[in-house]
Amino acid sequence: MAARTARPSLYISVDVEADGPIPGPYSMISFGAAVAGRQDGASYTAADPQERTFYRELRPISDAYVPEALAVSGLDRDRLVREGADPAAAMEEFRTWVREVSAEAGAQPVMCGYPAPFDWTFLYWYLMRFGGDSPFGHSGCLDMKTLYATKARVPLRAAVKGRMPRELLSRRRHTHHALDDAIEQAELMSNLMLWQPSPAVPAAQTPGGAHA
């Protein structure tokens, strides 16, 4: 039986700003997305992350919030209560955008984040709570920290930007504006995908003996 050919993947960098640690009791107050690049087999093509983007600020879904979490984004919660987008409408617009850019690329969408677990938790919860459908499926996400740890062969807890080679990092500032950070992290994603780290020297070949 012939092996099934895997479809290409379109990696979409997503950054979420929230006013608390988990969705439901707390709210996703803004999110941004930027197309990072397309992978077809072993070939990866980086995109201009400013070319195809999405951004919304959302109306909070509860009265609860953590002041320290809210302060990170710098957004005015009172303004969001008055002017923020309806979450159901925003998620439907986002689904449409994801499907449009994926169709243009002829690829399946994959959300990527740094780190992905926090952003994916909010994004997937909102997609399912407000519309019951995710264009990424239930597991179409990739964590850039895990990607770096695997390629660099370091423990996951050591996969922090301060320890990464400088050539991997975007030159853009991390502003905690969701779209700015999605674009910055799209560049990191492409750099990681194209990165070919030098192979580690086996212990037997190190100077001073087999167990030096």
Query: Looking at the annotation, which residues are catalytic?
Result: 176
Helix axes 87-105, 116-129, angle to 10 degrees: 110
Distance set, CA 94 to CA 70, 122, 173 (Å): 23, 14, 25
10 φ, ψ (degrees, to nearest 5) = -110, 115
Phi and psi, residue 4, nearest 5°: -75, 140
Beta-bridge partner residues of 187: none
Helix (H), strand (E), coil (C) string for 28-57: EEEEEEEEEEEEECCEEEECCCCCCEEEEE
Structure tokens at 87: 């979450």
Length of the chain: 212
- Hey, what are 145's tokens? 């920290």
Which residue do the tokens 């062969």 mark?
153
